[in-house]
Structure 1
Amino acid sequence: MSETKQFLETVKVVDGVFIHSGYNLQRMKQTMNEVFHTSVPDSFFEELTVPENMRLGVVKCRILYGESIDEVQFQPYACRKVASLKLVDGGNIDYSRKYADRTALLNLVQQKGECDDILIVKNGQITDTSYSNVVLSDGTGYYTPKTYLLNGTCRQRLIAEGKIIPRDISVNDLSSFQHLYLINAMIDLEDKVIVPVSNIEG
């Protein structure tokens, strides 16, 4: 039953300050309203205290919630190194909300072989990696697949800022790009977590 579902929100904290948390708040409110008919106050992040030992550097704030807030954790953040991706068929996977249960995604990750992570394909179209949206560059612009699994907060913001353009990107289109960027709440485009398209295995 949907009432038992838990959802996850990841928020970037830099030197004790929440970064772009308005997008996270909007998604939390939308999910809680649509699934549980509840909400959190607009002042949620203003009232959240970052622990003193987490007020320097980049920190991940992990919020677990359902009908109400279940848990808030802070932990130091270190960016994963991803140099290669394996194309994997996502089948009928649904990750349209940021579910706390990532079993379906982790099952797909088992197919990554020697690669660092997976690039999920649905109906021949590029979607996301196991933990990020993607942006592809051809030297003239930055494009993100319209066929995402999760409409991530960083993706939404970069589109709103006009920095990336949504478009249909199929597996066959990959060869027309040079680089794939990973983006999520913790990784911005300017952080340049890049996989050369030549390092994407079929």
Structure 2
Amino acid sequence: MIFETVKWKDGAPCLLPWHQRRVERSMKLHGEGCASVPDLASVLEGCPGPEDAGVYKCHITYDTRGRVRTPSYEPYRPRMVKRLRCVEIPRLDYSCKWEDRTELQAAGLGLGEDEEVLILQHGMVTDTRYSNVVFGDGSSWVTPETFLLPGTKRAFLLARGAIEARSLKAEDIGKFRFCSLINAMLDPGDVVVRTEDVLL
């Protein structure tokens, strides 16, 4: 099973075209036979989220035949992360949002409540278990060229020129002041970790 997490804000989905592109990419790579590509707009029209003001996490699951489960919605509150621990996992592949996240979750065993892992592959910075990352100095944001998952927020911000992709090694982290976690639910600056709290 594959899934998308869509930000549902003030009664409407955010960045839906970007999520749709990722669904199309996933089905092109993993779809079985003549499987139809799920249309997220139609799915959400048939099962819309809350109409009140606020932010909700919308979870949409589908299989490789294009069959979609009923979306679920839950109020969203970002997890506060204060420290990142770098972990080298050279063979981890999470290029598609599979529901089976066993290997990803195992990378975080033993972490404190306010800690998260920053995954390295051959010394190159990639992602955390649930987000892409951007590094900043207070005036601009840089995201690693190496990443595990093609995040929708990352793609959106790159297209707008709001962030820049660069080759980033673990030793480059200290050149920045902050690391911010980004995903469909999080913008740069929402969850920020000082680079002195990124443990190599």
Please confirm whether the aligned pair reaches a TM-score higher than 0.5, indicating the same fold.
yes
Say how many residue pairs are matched. Answer: 195
Q: How does 1:5-16 map to 2 (within 5 A)?
A: 6-16=1-11
How much does 1:38 deviate?
A: 2.4
Partner of 2:59: 62
Normalised by the size of structure 1, how large is the TM-score? 0.90
Normalised by the size of structure 2, how large is the TM-score? 0.90
Alignment gaps of 5+ in structure 2: none
Secondary structure of the corresponding residue to residue 69 of structure 1: coil
Q: C-alpha distance in 2, partners of 1:42/1:129?
A: 26
How much does 1:47 deviate?
A: 2.0
Answer whether contact 2:80 2:114 (CA < 8 A) is retained.
Answer: no
Moved over 4 A (4+): none
Q: Percent of pairs identical after alignment?
A: 34
- RMSD in angstroms over aligned alpha carbons? 1.8
Partner of 2:84: 85
Give the counterpart of 1:26 among 4, 21, 26: 21
2:135 corresponds to 1:136: yes
Q: Specify the code of the residue in structure 2 equivalent to 1:14.
A: K
Secondary structure of the corresponding residue to residue 129 of structure 1: coil
Alignment gaps of 5+ in structure 1: 1-5
Answer whether contact 1:65 1:71 (CA < 8 A) is retained.
Answer: no
Secondary structure of the corresponding residue to residue 143 of structure 1: strand
Q: C-alpha distance in 1, partners of 2:197/2:96?
A: 29
Partner of 2:36: 38
Structure 1 pair 114–87 and aligned structure 2 pair: CA distance change class (3 A) = farther
Q: C-alpha distance in 2, partners of 1:41/1:80?
A: 30
Q: C-alpha distance in 1, partners of 2:90/2:191?
A: 27
Answer whether contact 2:124 2:168 (CA < 8 A) is retained.
Answer: yes
Structure 1 pair 48–144 and aligned structure 2 pair: CA distance change class (3 A) = farther
Q: How does 1:81-120 map to 2 (within 5 A)?
A: 81-112=80-111, 116-120=115-119
How much does 1:138 deviate?
A: 2.5
Q: C-alpha distance in 2, partners of 1:111/1:126?
A: 21
Answer whether contact 2:134 2:179 (CA < 8 A) is retained.
Answer: yes
Partner of 1:3: none
